[in-house]
Amino acid sequence: MSVHRLAKYQSDDPFTRVPNSAVNDDRLDLKARGLLLLMLSLPDHWVFRERNLADKAGVGREAVRSAMAKLIEAGYVVRRREAEGGKPPVVVTEVYDTAQTPNLAEVGKPEVGKPDRRKTRPISNEPVLVTNEKSNTRTRKTAVPSGWSPSDELIQQLQDKFPRIVVAEQTDGFLDWHRSKGSKFADWDAAFRNWVRNADKFRRQNAGEKEGGWR
């Protein structure tokens, strides 16, 4: 992670200076402002993960995800993929003390420091596509992406296949279970299909139905 500060706020003293424009940005709630202040207090090139942020802030990971989403939307956190020398792309996360416009956020070289290119877990849990000469493109396994839920189309397909299961009511249990276990999948739609399939299997077992019974 690279931390970018205005020149007048750069110093080696033990204080964290933040522009009033960030403190008073009405697009940010209290959690988002606190998370921004925490990240700006760390040195340039500091590398941490979602778990580390949650531990430092004394909150749960869901609170970090929510605050991070607001910072990304407002332009204080910029995430992009970079690849060098034919190596697999990695996620580069940059933190700014002033909101970046879309153009500045997506193109151009950082004004301060160098982006960290180590293969760390993306803060927002987005999948990173990696390729090599010996295999086809594949998707890295990730924790459940923020805001993920099964599409209406997927729910209807599963409802048609498993009519005795109320598929729409399976979502909350599915998400709670896998978040508590820290599960990672390359395809969360496929994981949900398997969850509903097992739910129907357990229902049939409890009802005393045979494997070849109603499906």
* Three-state SS letters, 113-145: CCCCCCCCCCCCCCCCEEEECCEEEEECCECCC
Averaged pLDDT for residues 186-201 = 91
196/168 Cα distance (integer angstroms): 10
In this prediction, residue 113 has a pLDDT band, given cuts at 50, 70 and 90, of very low
pLDDT at 14: 61
pLDDT at 197: 92
Averaged pLDDT for residues 88-100 = 81
pLDDT at 82: 75
What's the distance, CA 186 to chain centroid?
14
- pLDDT per residue over 29-86, tens digit each? 999 898 888 888 877 777 767 888 888 888 888 988 899 889 888 888 887 777 777 7
| CB-based contact 123:50 (threshold 8 Å) | yes
Higher-scoring residue by pLDDT: 215, 181: 181
pLDDT at 6: 57
| CB-based contact 92:81 (threshold 8 Å) | yes
Residue ranges of the alpha helices (H) in the chain? 20-23, 30-40, 50-57, 61-74, 102-106, 152-161, 171-181, 188-207
| CB-based contact 193:158 (threshold 8 Å) | yes
pTM of the predicted protein model:
0.43
Task: State the average pLDDT for the chain.
Answer: 76
Domains of the chain: 2-123 (1.10.10.10), 152-207 (no CATH)
CA–CA distance from 189 to each of 122, 126, 163 (Å)? 20, 14, 19
> Which percentage of the chain shows pLDDT scores above 70?
70
pLDDT at 15 over 60: yes
